[in-house]
Structure 1
Amino acid sequence: MLIRIAQFTTRFPRAILIGALAVALLCGIFGATAASGLKSGGFVSEDAESIRAAQMLTDNFDGAAPNYILLVESPDGVDADQVRSRALQIIDVLRARPDTAGLQSYWTAPSPAVASALRSTDGESGLIAVDFEGDETQIQEAAGELSGQVTGTADGVTVRAGGTAATFHEVNNQITHDLAVAETAAIPLTLVVLVLVFGSLIAASLPLIVGLFAIAATLAILKLFTLFTDVSIYAMNLTTALGLALAIDYSLFIVSRFREELAAGLDPRAATGRALQTAGRTVLFSAVTVALSLSAMLVFDLYFLRSFAYSGVAVVVAAAVASIVVLPAALVLLGHRVNALDLRAPILRLFGREPAPLGALVPEQTGWYRLVKRVMRAAVPVAVVIVALLLALGSPFLSVKFGYPDERVLPNSASSRQVGNEIRAEFPRADPGGNTAIVLDGYRDGRGVGEYAARLSEVDGVNAVLSSSGVYVSGNRLAPTPPGMSNDTGTYLTVTSSLDPFSPAGGDQLDALRAVDAPAPPVFGGSAAVNEDSLGALADRLPLAGLLIVLSTFVVLFLFTGSLVLPLKALLLNTLSLTAAFGAMVWIFQEGHLEGLLGFTAVGYLVPTMPILMFCLAFGLSMDYEVFLLSRIREEWLRRRAGRTGSEHAEEDNTESVAIGVARTGRIFTAAAVLMAIVIGALTTSKVSFIQLMGLGLTLTVLADATLIRALLVPALMKLLGPLNWWAPKPLARLHDRIGFSEEPAEASAPTAEPPVRV
């Protein structure tokens, strides 16, 4: 296949480049509006109990499940004439909207109990709680439209928007802005690093151009998926960064091999063919590995994760296709001019040094070769120290806690964040985010409801229970019956609490509430129930996802290397590199050690989908470097073992193959890691805290993998294993040889007019 691709690209390079330009322009135009169709939910299954409870409240009890909150405040107090007038004007606007399913407010409350809950403890602010009809996209659009009309300060009265709908709207806007900032910062830095790696400005520009092509394709792919299914807004940040990073990685490998073959004396067409058969083969296996790791997220019943799976796989395919079809066409046309505009030469001559020929490399004379030789001479202490260090760095993950995200993922400047903080501090009985709703479908017996409410109010941490039979505190009825909590469809109760519903304490309280005897089958809703449903959905499918990643990666690496030992080693090392990053994430984002520096708010737990997403992505990216390194080590091993039988010189051949392989690839995979870190690390500039977490976590994983793992631990372990690295049972070895996933010998690499057909 790669021979035929090489023949095609070298025969019609101009047509391919013109076609690629047209495709990029079309993708850019089509994908320009991708953000408008993306959603910011998807953390809970649509079949979850908490979602059913919310739907019951919306359908049967107007305003019982508000998704949009307006905070009206003034130092003159909520009963001042100008405050009441402003609030009533806003209420009229809301009631005139066809998508307003329910509304409650301090100024129109049907009873003193309800009014008290919607009034702040300091008396300076009141709430207007609205339930908008529609899906996530519709309520976000409604929130954005209404916030533009009614928020702001006038006559000493300030109105700010919060609640789920406003939070999602602000997150969408923040994500779109952050993505533009990240790409603006990453692309120039990427070009600088590429120039330092290649020397030639022409060679440095090629990976970046392929990366920009991948970004355009990524946006078009995301836009296409929004026409058929729900896609998370967070996927746009990651998949565009991933598309750029992988396209640069893959093209970096191919350009480097092309220049190496040119330096070895091949003409441009032959060098292109050889680069595709070697580095191109590596790119294909790497792309398959990353795609399989990402596709494991399809097993989760949360569109937040599923959208990363299908959009991520599509992006990997786009980056790989661009690298093995479009890039070779450019290389053929450039030929030896790929080394033009050497920017390092003038600087070196200032120091009296002549630049080495671009693309030329004598492995035995490199610092990488000498480093690996020293590492393998002290293989045991090096392996022990690095493994101990990574395990120590990962130890904080043993105390990890998980919780659902709320408006605190946004910066303090965000309106919904400010409203959420105010509600938690000043409205202990009206917090729609912290309360637990219990629906008794079809049950209307007031006495039974009252007894149930009294029992619920005795649970530790419960402030009060609002029911159709009254307001209960510590088992006692302290206020008359709030109206509207019971009708022909049944009854609902509201349990208020001072505990964070997403914290472990909030989860324990929910379990205690569930344990209270109910007069009818209860359906639990609210933030604590949403959190429990989200964690349960992830825990149920996590073992299957992990098993799929391990098995698929093992099979792909076996097909790549023909060894059973190397895939096992790669799986263990990739997991080890992730432990350090996961430990750092707990230390930073859960415990808040760099809270001031990074500008996020530590809430004492991590968003549970993030470690899963990071594992799938980082596992695939780590395999990217593993495949690249092993390809050159294996190539040298096969060259040295050609014509030799038995164990003669096997130990020496293994050691030398590792040293030569790292020497030939060390500079490249280190540069690739730096470039990947720049592109993905730019996500840490995001103002959404778990996007920061993902960007920093992936960056640390990539850098640790390219330095501690690939440059030190891999050579040490391969030295200790010796020829056993390449072992496989004879039946599997014969199977691998029969499948024939290997590159052609060098002398067959030049594309010819009539190539032999391989079977």
Structure 2
Amino acid sequence: MLNRVARVSHAHPVRVIITSLLIAAAALVIGFTLIGNLSASGFNDPDSASVLAQEEIVGATGASAVPSLVAIVDPGAPIASPRGQAAVNRVATVMKDDPDVASVAGPSPQSPNLTSKGGSKAALLGYFGDINEDESQAAARRLDDELSTVPGVTVGGGWTAAAETSTIVGEDLLRAELIAFPLLFLVSLWVFRGLVAALLPPLMGALVIFGGFFFLGVGNEVFGMSVYALNLVTGLGLGLAIDYSLLMVSRYREEVAAHGATATALANTVRTAGKSVVYSAVTVGAALAALMIFPQNFLFSMGFGGLVVALVAAVVAVGVLPAVMALLGTRINALAPRRWRARSEAADRVEESGGWYRLSHFVMRRPTAVALVSGAFMVLLALPALGVKFTTTDSSVLPQSANARQVDQMLTREFPSGNGTPVFLSARAPDTPQASRKLLEVTREIDALPATKSVSPPRFVGDRTWQIDATSRYRALDERTITLVQDIQAINDPYPMKVGGFTALFVDQRSSLAAHLPWAALIIVAVTIVALFLMTGSVLLPIKAVIMNVLTLGATLGVLVLIFQDGNLEGFLQYDSQGAVDLTQPILIGALAFGLSTDYAVFLLSRIKEIRDNGGGERESVALGLQRTGRVVTAAALLFCIAMGAFATSRIVIIKELGIGTAVAVALDATIVRALLVPSLMALFGKWNWWAPGPLRRLHARIGVREGG
């Protein structure tokens, strides 16, 4: 198959390039059309009790159980004054007239907490009817537009936060690309030492992003995708495209130096580097696809996006790039200063005296010391992870300028209810005195819990559904509120009961992630072990790779704790610490780290095995393998760090965490792991690196993957 691709690319390069450009243009147009309504929510398990509680209340009452939208009214006069009342009534009328608003609550003798402590502001709570996510976001945008013309009104709430998130993600994505592409080009210029060769990785990256947007749009039509997947598709697509282009172009330049710009040079490149690219893409895609086992749409979308963009990157690198290289031939080294070209040609000759060759021999002469020091450094970085605290997505991930965040801050600081957190229960029971008495007993148990601030009597809301409203004394993610929710969940229910509210959503989200994590981890570890076994025929090398990947993940989580939980670099990175790390990020970054670490391991170990199979000694094979891949892998890692690290400029905290976390994982893997731990451990284990039981050796002989085979 790959030989045929090479033949077609060499025989008809112009036809392949034009066809690819037309497909990419169509993918871009269709993709942008289909990704216009991506969801900004999707962090909860749709089958969790807290989500079902909300659905039961909506089904019975026709209105949400929690406020969908909050409008803060500051009329410039006391709320109790005629001017203040007129301003409140005006805003309430606008909200009530909206077709998607089922009810509105405002200041009253029954709801004194909706007037600020100083009496100068009012909070109006809008409850949407039984509408879906797209309709809820549209309603929030519509009301925000209408009320933004009213002086002294600020609109926030959950659906406003979702709408603002969608807008900010799009704006930040464009800014990140504008930052990343010039930097990527400059670094590519330094790596390739030629203008033409340096242009290829960013151009291939653009094609991959276009294809990724198309498949993400198709996925959105079928499953509904998270807007956050745009960042993964862009960053990962760009990073993988550059990695694969770098590998292909570097190998092609080696082959051209040996054979000239011939069909043989292209065929050798596609057969060797191309096979590694395809194998790597399948491995990375499979590792990320493990995220699709989670019921949360956010992680499912990330898994789907990662899978498709990895495969698209392989198709572009193996199906399009060879045609471009065939068309260029020796001109791939064009527009390079003579001094740069001389250095590039020297690097392509792969002399046995390069820096990576010398470094590997230095490491292998003292493997125990290097392994212990390197491992200790990784463990030291991981130590802060022992104190990790987790949070979830709310308005605090948005910038200070976001209306939803401003409204939440005003509610917390200026309103009497700001220090409390609402919790509600949905109970399925008939409308009978007996049910009322039993549920009243439940309210007494809730009232006796230490964190309970208040609890209302049970009320029948229709359709065999009762609602009980309670309030915690503390903030939503305070451990005491979390304990309160868990205590309520543990009450001996006289009827089927479910606990809802923001804190209950977090508790259920945490439980759901914990329940599905072992299966996802098992898939990711299995993918790593199988992939490296098929490439190397060894049992020990895959196990070592898993251990080193765990070290990398632990060190990365430790860095995230130092930056985002402890609030270091707040000023430099322009964010406000939540005092915790988002619950989903270690899972997402873990899948990325395992996939990308395996990606780089494939590049390195395949070269070491190729040299060893051709008669190289144990240590010499490692040294030459590191010399021939070290510069490429390090350059690829640097380019990938730029592609993902650009998301550190995002105004949304969890996107900063994703960008910085992935960049840190890749940087650690390409330096400490590949340059120090791998050669030191290879030297320590010697020929045992390649050991496998007899049955597995025979299995590998039948189905194993060989780079040049």
Task: Identify the TM-score tier after normalising by the shorter chain.
Answer: over 0.9
Which residue is equivalent to 2:71?
A: 70
Which residue is equivalent to 2:182?
A: 188
Q: Deviations over 1:426-448 (max 9, x none)?
A: 334378x9310112333664655
The secondary structure found in structure 1 opposite 2:417 is coil
The letter for the 2-side match of 1:68 is L
The letter for the 2-side match of 1:45 is D
Matched, 1:658 2:630: no
| CA RMSD, 1 decimal | 2.1
* Candidates 421, 431, 437, aligned match of 2:409: 421
Matched, 1:247 2:241: yes
Distance 1:366 1:430 in 2: 64
8 Å CA contact 1:196–1:344 kept in 2: the answer is no
Deviation at 1:551, TM superposition (A): 1.3
The letter for the 2-side match of 1:607 is D
Distance 2:454 2:250 in 1: 68
* Candidates 450, 456, 461, aligned match of 1:466: 456
Matched, 1:620 2:589: no
The secondary structure found in structure 1 opposite 2:706 is coil
8 Å CA contact 1:182–1:685 kept in 2: the answer is yes
8 Å CA contact 2:533–2:542 kept in 1: the answer is yes
Distance 2:280 2:423 in 1: 47
In structure 1, list runs of 5 or more residues that go unmatched: 349-353, 469-483, 642-652, 746-759
8 Å CA contact 1:27–1:217 kept in 2: the answer is yes
Taking a change above 3 Å as real, the CA distance of residues 205 and 400 of structure 1, as seen in their structure-2 partners, is: same
Which residue is equivalent to 1:555?
A: 530
Matched, 1:270 2:264: yes
Deviation at 1:269, TM superposition (A): 1.6
Q: TM-score, normalised by structure 1?
A: 0.89
Deviation at 1:103, TM superposition (A): 1.7
In structure 2, list runs of 5 or more residues that go unmatched: none
8 Å CA contact 1:402–1:503 kept in 2: the answer is no
Distance 2:180 2:495 in 1: 57
Deviation at 1:266, TM superposition (A): 3.8
Taking a change above 3 Å as real, the CA distance of residues 176 and 153 of structure 1, as seen in their structure-2 partners, is: same
Which residue is equivalent to 2:345?
A: 357
8 Å CA contact 1:256–1:359 kept in 2: the answer is no
8 Å CA contact 1:50–1:525 kept in 2: the answer is yes
Distance 1:127 1:486 in 2: 24
Matched, 1:117 2:110: no
* Candidates 197, 206, 218, aligned match of 1:203: 197
Q: Deviations over 1:125-174 (max 9, x none)?
A: 111111223111110111011101112562xxx11111111010011111
8 Å CA contact 2:41–2:298 kept in 1: the answer is yes
Matched, 1:440 2:427: yes
Matched, 1:669 2:638: no
Distance 2:585 2:573 in 1: 18
Distance 2:401 2:565 in 1: 21
Distance 2:683 2:490 in 1: 58
Which residue is equivalent to 2:446?
A: 456
Matched, 1:10 2:27: no
The secondary structure found in structure 2 opposite 1:264 is helix
8 Å CA contact 2:54–2:64 kept in 1: the answer is no
The letter for the 2-side match of 1:439 is S
Name which of structure 1's ranges 276-285 and 337-346 shifts more when overlaid on structure 2. 337-346
Which residue is equivalent to 1:229?
A: 223
8 Å CA contact 2:192–2:344 kept in 1: the answer is no
Name which of structure 1's ranges 443-452 and 534-543 shifts more when overlaid on structure 2. 443-452
The letter for the 2-side match of 1:434 is T
The letter for the 2-side match of 1:198 is F
The letter for the 2-side match of 1:419 is V
Which residue is equivalent to 1:317?
A: 311
* Candidates 633, 637, 645, aligned match of 2:608: 633
Deviation at 1:621, TM superposition (A): 0.8
Distance 1:273 1:359 in 2: 21
Distance 2:201 2:547 in 1: 31
Distance 1:451 1:721 in 2: 67
* Candidates 140, 144, 148, aligned match of 2:141: 144
Which residue is equivalent to 2:667?
A: 703
Distance 1:613 1:356 in 2: 37
Identity of aligned residues (%): 37
Deviation at 1:58, TM superposition (A): 2.2
The letter for the 1-side match of 2:134 is T
The letter for the 2-side match of 1:502 is L
Which residue is equivalent to 2:88?
A: 87
Taking a change above 3 Å as real, the CA distance of residues 486 and 259 of structure 1, as seen in their structure-2 partners, is: closer
The secondary structure found in structure 2 opposite 1:357 is helix
Which residue is equivalent to 1:407?
A: 395
Deviation at 1:223, TM superposition (A): 1.2
* Candidates 333, 336, 343, aligned match of 1:342: 336
Which residue is equivalent to 2:26?
A: 26
1:507-522 mapped onto 2 (5 Å cutoff)? 507-516=482-491, 520-522=495-497
8 Å CA contact 2:272–2:707 kept in 1: the answer is yes
* Candidates 369, 375, 394, aligned match of 1:387: 375
Aligned residues: 704
The letter for the 1-side match of 2:453 is N
Distance 1:164 1:199 in 2: 51
Which residue is equivalent to 1:371?
A: 359
The secondary structure found in structure 1 opposite 2:47 is coil
Matched, 1:56 2:56: yes
8 Å CA contact 1:104–1:129 kept in 2: the answer is yes
Distance 2:519 2:506 in 1: 21
Matched, 1:131 2:95: no
The letter for the 2-side match of 1:584 is V
8 Å CA contact 1:105–1:127 kept in 2: the answer is yes
8 Å CA contact 1:363–1:660 kept in 2: the answer is no
8 Å CA contact 2:252–2:265 kept in 1: the answer is yes
Matched, 1:492 2:470: no
Distance 2:213 2:520 in 1: 27
Question: Max radius of gyration: which structure?
Answer: 1
Which residue is equivalent to 1:103?
A: 104
Deviation at 1:515, TM superposition (A): 4.0
Distance 2:584 2:683 in 1: 38
Q: Deviations over 1:264-319 (max 9, x none)?
A: 23433211111111111111111111011011112111111111122211111110
Distance 2:506 2:556 in 1: 24
The secondary structure found in structure 1 opposite 2:601 is helix
Matched, 1:688 2:652: yes
8 Å CA contact 1:201–1:343 kept in 2: the answer is no
Distance 1:592 1:118 in 2: 33
Name which of structure 1's ranges 20-29 and 499-508 shifts more when overlaid on structure 2. 499-508
1:502-581 mapped onto 2 (5 Å cutoff)? 502-516=477-491, 520-581=495-556
Q: Structure 1 residue runs of 4+, over 6 Å off? A: none
